[in-house]
Amino acid sequence: MAVDLTPRQPAKAYGGEGGAYYEWSPAELPMLGVASIGAAKLSLAAGGMSLPSYSDSAKVAYVLQGKGTCGIVLPEGTKEKVVGVKEGDALALPFGVVTWWHNTPGSATELVVLFLGDTSKGHRPGQFTNFQLTGASGIFTGFSTEFVGRAWDLKQDDAAKLVSSQPASGIVKLSAGQKLPEPVAEDRKDMALNCLEAKLDVDIPKGGRVVVLNTANLPLVKEVGLGADLVRIDAHSMCSPGFSCDSAYQVTYIVRGSGRVQVVGPEGKRVLETRIEGGSLFIVPRFHVVSKIADASGMEWFSIITTPNPIFSHLAGKTSVWKAISPEVLEASFNTTPEMEKLFRSKRLDSEIFFAPN
């Protein structure tokens, strides 16, 4: 039975004055469950704070909009890292990491963060389960005051007061004048990479640009077990048909712009053909071939690939497999003439991955 690959928008899970948390559900996007991938988005208003929590899944976080602060405590870490974040930043968050997020008071824009990750070891395939440390749904609200008091060496009355003093769940808006730690410049090292400022891995004039996250430029990617990339293509440009060579799923979030996408699977069947636009998410199954063409606005997307150092094979352009295959094999494969083979091989000699409009 074919799985519906239609791109989807997220639904609000919870939130309030400080912001909201949105998530994609496997019930709406079945490929999330098939691929054991989770996808969610955090949006914080000015002064909003996402309370400290950890997840059942390793993730990559990507800042879609705004700037603010992320607090990170690594497993067995003895000191919190306080990282200043801004649009274009990617962070790898391994299992067991405790994080909090904060949007600067007085900010003119919301701080919006995308989370994509592996849920294969989680409670619900295709959906993150977040464990809040404090608040109405916090971990310690489930323990008796005796246990909380013993754990923190507090009198039971004090323990009960401490645990119940935060009535909000997940996201709060800080009071005027309430301070949080300032970002520490050296805490960014090996924790965040700005994809809008990083060295380009691919740069095709009037075609597109790519920055790849891997173990070389963001070491924690290895612990997360995911690779990622940010791709920007210009107006009416095409991304070459290609597929992942290493049995990986590709999860794509359209950051901005719009265009068309086609995905082809086994037996030459087109399994997806649709328009895509900012805010939508879709998943390309393993070994399926995908290609995109941007509208006049161009298109930008952020993807994770379920391997830390992904390898792709392209079927058009100067690096395509057809350029490596001998003329005789190509003629026989297409059942065509030597003249047509020469015409075919003479095309796309200078283009790689992205094709600008003629």
Domains of the chain by residue range: 11-135+170-188, 195-355
Residues (pLDDT < 50) of the chain are 1
Encoded amino acid at 93, one letter: L
Pick the CATH number of 11-135+170-188 from 2.60.120.10, 3.10.20.30, 1.10.1060.10, 3.40.50.720: 2.60.120.10
Are 45 and 103 a contacting pair, CB within 8 Å?
yes
Query: Which uninterrupted H or E stretch holds 163?
Result: helix 156-164
Could you give the CA distance from residue 138 to residue 316 in angstroms, rounded to a whole number? Answer: 52
* 328-349 per-position pLDDT tens digit: 888 888 898 888 888 877 776 6
CA dihedral in degrees (19, 8, 292, 67; nearest 10)? 10
Pick 195-355's CATH classification: 1.10.1520.10, 3.30.230.10, 3.40.50.11540, 2.60.120.10.
2.60.120.10
pLDDT at 151: 93
Q: What pTM did the predictor assign?
A: 0.92
Q: What is the pLDDT of residue 82?
A: 97
Strands 238-244 and 58-65: unpaired
